[in-house]
Amino acid sequence: MQDLEFIKIGDDVLSLQEVISYLKDSGNFKQLLSTILREHIVAQELKLRNLSAVDSEIEQFVLEFRLQNKIVDRTAFEEWLKDNQLTYEKFREQATKGLKFQKLRVEILQDKVEPYFADKHNLFDRLVLSRLVVDSPNLSQNIRDILDRDPSQFKALIAEYSMADDRILEGRMGVFPREQMPAQLQLELGDKSAGDIIGPIVVDGLSCFFKLDQIIPAELDNAMRQEIEGRLFEEWLRGKMQGANLQMLV
């Protein structure tokens, strides 16, 4: 197969095979293939579903884009086009594709967001935690015995024994989405209520006690809806990618 010229850097002309070789050597080749496959799947799906966009929809999409990016002023918009090496025609073409992509997401995700949230909403709950950290197994057991008798001693025990910097804040760690916590901590906190204390859990050789101070329930607001839509679309896309028959011809 002819080694096609692909790119010019200064006076050097690189062939397609040289570029591929560079990408493989840098470890970025798989990422490039993944990007190509994603774009191809979306393009084929748009064609298969015959999604279209009328002028009024495109103009509204363009207006919203310019508002969001603060380039409503004509001069600012022209400068933005220039900076991004775009003509207005090319920009409008991209906007049309973006609008069709939005419609594709709507079709794919139709009636899926609410059931997903209902099934997994507890993973999106945010938890307010405080902790007590010690490095002695014997002390850890003593603290557990005290807490079993009187959980209200937690703050006093933090002040007296905790090694963590947050002891000056009465052990308050902050607010964390449940799903972003380590698996063991998620498991231990699974059915706990506000006020419950778990531990000791060994983390990096230290014995840690955690108090669940508050549970902030997740709500299906616009931000949460967008996050779930993104997850569901990625799941759909990964399924399509896994079933694709990808072959290199060069």
Q: Where are the domains of the chain?
A: 5-49, 55-110, 126-216
pLDDT > 50? residue 1: no
Q: What is the mean pLDDT of residues 57-74?
A: 92
Rounded Cα distance between 249 and 57, Å, is 40
Q: Which is nearest to 212 in space by CA: 135, 150, 127, 136?
A: 127
* Share of residues in the chain with pLDDT > 70 (%): 98
Question: Which residues share a beta bridge with 95?
Answer: none
- What are the structure tokens assigned to 104, written together? 């594709």
Q: What is the mean pLDDT of residues 161-181?
A: 92
Confidence (pLDDT) at 67: 94
20-54: burial string, b at 16+ Cβ within 10 Å, e else:
beeeeeeeebeeeeeeeebeebbeebbeeeebebe
Q: Tell me the pLDDT band of 2, cut-offs 50, 70 and 90.
A: low
Q: What is the mean pLDDT of residues 182-189?
A: 88
Residue with the larger pLDDT of the pair 57 and 247: 57
pLDDT > 90? residue 145: yes
* Share of residues in the chain with pLDDT > 90 (%): 70
Please give the model's pTM, rounded to 2 decimal places: 0.76
Confidence (pLDDT) at 19: 87
Q: Does domain 126-216 have CATH number 3.10.50.40?
A: yes
Q: What is the pLDDT of residues 114-141, one digit of tens each?
A: 999 999 988 899 999 999 999 988 999 9
DSSP code at position 152: G
Confidence (pLDDT) at 235: 94
